[in-house]
């Protein structure tokens, strides 16, 4: 019983002290957080990878989710970074739509064709942005996410 009380007291000290300090500290950040473009692109690269493995596993629900995240990330980059040429983002609309259509049809061949178009579009954007050293490719080998199942969930 005493041990539990000590744990509770320690937890309160650990969490209450920083909270009290945060409440008394002046708000120095009145501007909203804007992620760096590189951070948005890194997240998109992870989504690109997961999208591929979801489609390979025929988990069309996961592929649809990841594709919606890709579309949202591209939109976020376009809104937050007005220096990006509009055509760099709009040219990706066709492959993204083709991916949605292929996923809805559960057509892996068409999906992978559209995935190649998306990948090429990413690289074309990097070329125009003087980022030729960033080259995105179709994933090879085993999926790197050992903490996620890409196969569709079995329905009970």
Q: Give me the domains of the chain, ranges plus CATH numbers.
A: 37-128 (1.20.120.290)
Residue 12 has what pLDDT? 39
Residue 26 has pLDDT above 90, yes or no: no
- Kindly state the average pLDDT of the residues 72-86: 91
* Range scoring the smallest mean pLDDT among 6-10, 62-66, 128-132, 133-137: 6-10
Q: Output phi, psi for 22, to 5 deg.
A: -65, -35
pTM: 0.76
pLDDT band at 129 (very low <50, low <70, confident <90, very high): very high
**The two structure tokens encoding residue 114:** 């559209």
The alpha-helical segments, DSSP class H, found in the chain are 2-24, 37-56, 60-80, 86-90, 93-105, 108-128
CA distance linking residue 59 with residue 151, whole number of Å: 6
Mean pLDDT score of the chain, rounded to an integer? 84
- Kindly state the average pLDDT of the residues 49-69: 96
Residue 4 has pLDDT above 70, yes or no: no
- Kindly state the average pLDDT of the residues 18-46: 76
Q: Which residue has the higher pLDDT, 146 or 14?
A: 146
Closest CA to 31 of 76, 98, 80: 80
Which percentage of the chain shows pLDDT scores above 70?
81
């Amino acid at each position: 019983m005493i041990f539990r009380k000590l744990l509770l007291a320690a937890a309160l000290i650990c969490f209450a002290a920083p909270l009290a300090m945060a409440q008394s500290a002046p708000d120095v950040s009145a501007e909203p957080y804007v992620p760096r473009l590189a951070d948005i692109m890194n997240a998109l690269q992870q989504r690109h990878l997961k999208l591929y493995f979801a489609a390979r596993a025929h988990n069309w629900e996961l592929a649809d989710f990841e594709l919606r995240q890709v579309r949202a990330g591209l939109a976020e980059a376009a809104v937050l970074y007005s220096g990006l040429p509009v055509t760099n983002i709009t040219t990706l609309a066709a492959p993204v739509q083709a991916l949605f259509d292929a996923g809805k049809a559960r057509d892996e061949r068409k999906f992978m064709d559209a995935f190649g178009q998306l990948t090429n579009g990413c690289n074309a954007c990097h070329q125009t942005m003087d980022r030729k050293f960033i080259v995105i490719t179709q994933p090879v080998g085993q999926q790197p996410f050992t903490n996620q199942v890409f196969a569709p969930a079995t329905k009970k």
